[in-house]
Amino acid sequence: MSDENEKDPPSFRSAQWFGPADRNGFMHRSWMKNQGTPQRMFDGRPVIGICNTWSELTPCNGHFRQIAEHVKRGVIEAGGFPVEFPVMSLGETLLRPTAMLFRNLVSMDVEESIRANPIDGVVLLCGCDKTTPALVMGAASCDLPTIVVSGGPMLNGKFRGHDIGSGTSLFAMSEDVRAGKLSPEAFLDAEACMSRSAGHCMTMGTASTMACLVEALGLSLPQNGAIPAVDARRNTLANESGRRIVSMVREDLKLSKVLDRRSFENAIRINAAIGGSTNAIIHLLAIAGRIGVPLTLADFEAFGSAVPLLVDLLPSGRFLMEDFYYAGGLPAVWQALGDIVDGGAASVTGLSMGENNAGADCWNTEVIRTPENPVKPKAGIKVLRGNIAPDGAIIKPSAATPALMKHRGKAIVFEGLTDFRKRIDDPALDVDENSILVMRGVGLLGYPGMPEVGNMPLPRKLLERGIRDMVRISDARMSGTAYGTIVLHVAPEAAIGGPLALVQTGDIIELDVEAGRLHLDISEEEFARRQAEHKVAPAHPKGGYEQLFLQHVLQPDKGADFDFLVGCRGSAVADNAH
Ligand code: FES
Ligand code: MG
């Protein structure tokens, strides 16, 4: 629809600001005109907010001003009025103590920014890990028509004649440096070789996972998940998304009309098929909580664990996001899954997910396999339960060592990160490849913010002997780019008295991934005795945001949202006064 031919009735939300001829209407329009906005933009057309997480301190989102320009062009083409606004950005690499501490804060920024402003529909520009869930959570609590445009992954890393992947290859190379197999000079060289274009991590880490899951949820146009950041088609997708959001406003296609139970079940299945990040569990639970769709940790087991791993990407496989896009991207995965996904789920295109992806081709069956020839037959996240994880823990079997998935070993317990760093390379540490490394006090309240430290580096003396994996257990998270036989998100966490706090060095722990079991092998009497003696140390926040976080954050099996943020509060604002 062009703005010359057809006029929108002054019925959208923004008309409450820009419609009236009175003193307030003057104020709302006049100040906008200081940016050169002509009067015709206030004729009742849809106002589209472009929520931008651009920041030079979030290098993965460093190209977002350019993407926003392409969105704007699409909005204007379709007869809308684009308004770009910033929210706090979250970069994984620089933020201390961990970007996860701020996910809920950003979701509040997004929710309040949307609701408080004359916005009829929203385009969310998401990239680095936490920016996607934070923006979708905030938008879901407002429930306006919303579309996601991801920034896209970096080009494949290229180092000394072969491909290297964000995060994953860094972890491997740093272990090689510690084992004396790679020189510090080569390690420095690899920095520029790994991150050589705009975009986010190009492994199937959390950013790529969440970009794919946004597509699987129906919240973006097809191919949003995989197009590289610097491929011109990323800008085309931004333009098309800008056009589409204007129509979505006219159709009143709100988030709650797109997202339902089927959408989340599909996202869980797709996360298994792509070998997606364990962080997706926490983020999907939080998003579902905002939009009011019931979802539990057990659903990840029920819908994901039997799904085959089809996408052969680091950290679970071999290739990288560029290869994934050229092979057909998420539509090809959807097509390969056939009946495993529910094609009836809705999407922002106005068509069903099945219609969006019908006839999608796969151009490289090495990168995107078929269920008959999968990378691994059962890939989904496995939920573990037992006496040290009564509310559950998780493991990503596709990134684990098969031989360690059923294992009994002697625990070596570390009280947090500082203790771990101090002792792990101590030659006197009584550790061998059968030991189980346990770290606690690194959960949401313990650290705080639940950092990505669950993939604890192995003891140097074992690395030197060629050992590359051990069972590791913690109440932390791990980077989506990490790998290993790593049990994460143990709930409740030790800092609030979860029984992980009761484990002592020398205890035997049993892990049985197939059976979903994580068990501390001590007698019930001994367990009860330790529990009775255990004292929870009270937290002493210094005030500020950290205090809000510690008082209100839910455990990871509930999505780690703040208790008072769960739910949809809608877009209505009661009154207007200056
Ligand atoms: Fe930003 Fe990996 S550090 S996506
Ligand atoms: Mg991360």
pLDDT at 578 over 70: no
Q: CB of 24 within 8 A of CB of 576?
A: yes
Task: Determine the average pLDDT of the residues in 188-216.
Answer: 97
CATH label of the domain that carries residue 143: 3.40.50.2300
Phi, psi dihedrals of residue 376, rounded to the nearest 5°: -145, 140
130 lines ligand 1 (CB under 6 A): no
Strands, DSSP E only, in 416-542?
436-440, 471-474, 486-488, 508-512, 517-520
At residue 481 the predicted structure's pLDDT band, cuts being 50, 70 and 90, is confident
At residue 162 the predicted structure's pLDDT band, cuts being 50, 70 and 90, is very high
Q: Report the pLDDT value the prediction gives residue 182, as an integer from 0 to 100.
A: 95
How far does the centroid of ligand 2 lie from the alpha carbon of residue 19, in Å? Answer: 44
Nearest C-alpha neighbor of 503 from the set 408, 407, 415, 383: 415
* Alpha carbons 319 and 151: distance in angstroms, whole number: 20
Q: CB of 204 within 8 A of CB of 311?
A: yes
437 lines ligand 1 (CB under 6 A): no
- What the block records as the tokens of 480 is 């989506």
3-state SS assignment for residue 361: coil
- Assess whether 146 and 278 both reside in one domain: yes
pLDDT at 461 over 90: yes
The pLDDT > 90 percentage for the chain reads 93
Q: Report the pLDDT value the prediction gives residue 10, as an integer from 0 to 100.
A: 65
Asked if residue 284 is part of any domain, the answer here is yes
- Assess whether 90 and 51 both reside in one domain: yes
How far does the centroid of ligand 1 lie from the alpha carbon of residue 159, in Å? Answer: 19
Q: Report the pLDDT value the prediction gives residue 380, as an integer from 0 to 100.
A: 87
128 lines ligand 1 (CB under 6 A): yes
Asked if residue 367 is part of any domain, the answer here is no
* Kind plus residue range of the DSSP H or E element containing 412: strand 406-415
Q: Report the pLDDT value the prediction gives residue 507, as an integer from 0 to 100.
A: 98
Q: What is the pLDDT of residues 503-562, one digit of tens each?
A: 999 999 999 999 999 999 999 999 999 999 999 998 888 899 999 999 999 999 999 999
Task: Determine the average pLDDT of the residues in 226-235.
Answer: 98
- What the block records as the tokens of 478 is 């791990």
Length of the chain (residues): 578
Residue that is last in its domain, among 341, 356, 371:
356
**CB neighbour class for 34 (10 Å; exposed up to 12, middle 13-18, buried from 19):** exposed
204 lines ligand 1 (CB under 6 A): no
Task: Determine the average pLDDT of the residues in 300-324.
Answer: 95
Number of domains in the chain: 2
Angle at 154 between CA 149 and CA 156, to 5 degrees: 140
- Assess whether 264 and 320 both reside in one domain: yes
Which-ligand-closest: CA of 278?
2
- Assess whether 139 and 274 both reside in one domain: yes
At residue 4 the predicted structure's pLDDT band, cuts being 50, 70 and 90, is very low
* Alpha carbons 24 and 20: distance in angstroms, whole number: 7
pLDDT at 273 over 90: yes
How far does the centroid of ligand 2 lie from the alpha carbon of residue 563, in Å? Answer: 23
ipTM over 0.85: yes
93 lines ligand 1 (CB under 6 A): yes
- Assess whether 472 and 420 both reside in one domain: yes
How far does the centroid of ligand 2 lie from the alpha carbon of residue 452, in Å? Answer: 7
- Assess whether 348 and 391 both reside in one domain: no
Q: Which residue has the tokens 């550790």?
A: 431
pLDDT at 193 over 70: yes
CATH label of the domain that carries residue 415: 3.50.30.80
- Assess whether 331 and 459 both reside in one domain: no
* Alpha carbons 263 and 295: distance in angstroms, whole number: 11
**CB neighbour class for 179 (10 Å; exposed up to 12, middle 13-18, buried from 19):** middle
* Alpha carbons 71 and 48: distance in angstroms, whole number: 10
205 lines ligand 1 (CB under 6 A): yes
Residue that is last in its domain, among 310, 339, 356:
356
The pLDDT > 70 percentage for the chain reads 98
Mutating to test ligand 1, I would choose from 55, 61, 128 the residue with most ligand atoms within 8 A of its C-beta, which is: 128
- Assess whether 255 and 316 both reside in one domain: yes
Query: Residue 544 region, left (φ>0) first, then alpha (ψ -120 to 50), else beta?
Result: left
Q: Are strands 47-52 and 81-86 parallel, antiparallel or unpaired?
A: parallel
Q: Report the pLDDT value the prediction gives residue 574, as an integer from 0 to 100.
A: 80
Q: CB of 121 within 8 A of CB of 49?
A: yes
* Alpha carbons 364 and 313: distance in angstroms, whole number: 13
- Assess whether 352 and 389 both reside in one domain: no
pLDDT at 6 over 80: no
Residue whose CA is at the smallest distance from ligand 1 atom 3: 92
How far does the centroid of ligand 2 lie from the alpha carbon of residue 250, in Å? Answer: 37
* Alpha carbons 132 and 286: distance in angstroms, whole number: 12
Asked if residue 447 is part of any domain, the answer here is yes
Q: Report the pLDDT value the prediction gives residue 2, as an integer from 0 to 100.
A: 43
* Alpha carbons 92 and 103: distance in angstroms, whole number: 11
Q: Report the pLDDT value the prediction gives residue 5, as an integer from 0 to 100.
A: 44
At residue 576 the predicted structure's pLDDT band, cuts being 50, 70 and 90, is confident
Nearest C-alpha neighbor of 234 from the set 210, 199, 208: 199
* Alpha carbons 282 and 350: distance in angstroms, whole number: 28
Residue that is last in its domain, among 533, 549, 566:
533
Nearest C-alpha neighbor of 279 from the set 492, 439, 103, 52: 103
Q: Which domain holds residue 435?
A: 385-533
**What mean pLDDT, rounded, does the chain reach?**
96
Asked if residue 162 is part of any domain, the answer here is no
The answer to which of 99-103, 169-173, 378-382 has the lowest mean pLDDT is 378-382
Q: What is the pLDDT of residues 56-69, one digit of tens each?
A: 999 999 999 999 99
- Assess whether 424 and 515 both reside in one domain: yes
Nearest C-alpha neighbor of 294 from the set 567, 55, 554: 567
Asked if residue 310 is part of any domain, the answer here is yes
Q: What DSSP character marks residue 145?
A: -
Which-ligand-closest: CA of 482?
2
**CB neighbour class for 466 (10 Å; exposed up to 12, middle 13-18, buried from 19):** exposed
Single-letter code of the amino acid located at 108: M
Strand ordering across the sheet containing 81-86: 81-86, 47-52, 121-126, 146-150
Q: How many CB atoms lie within 10 A of CB 176?
A: 16
Torsion of the alpha carbons at 238, 239, 240 and 246, rounded to the nearest 10: 100
- Assess whether 341 and 229 both reside in one domain: yes
* Alpha carbons 206 and 210: distance in angstroms, whole number: 6
Contacts of 112 (CB under 8 A, 6+ apart): 138
Asked if residue 175 is part of any domain, the answer here is no
Q: What is the pLDDT of residues 81-130, one digit of tens each?
A: 999 999 999 999 999 999 999 999 999 999 999 999 999 999 999 999 99
- Assess whether 138 and 241 both reside in one domain: yes
Which-ligand-closest: CA of 126?
1
Q: Which residue has the tokens 């140390």?
A: 537
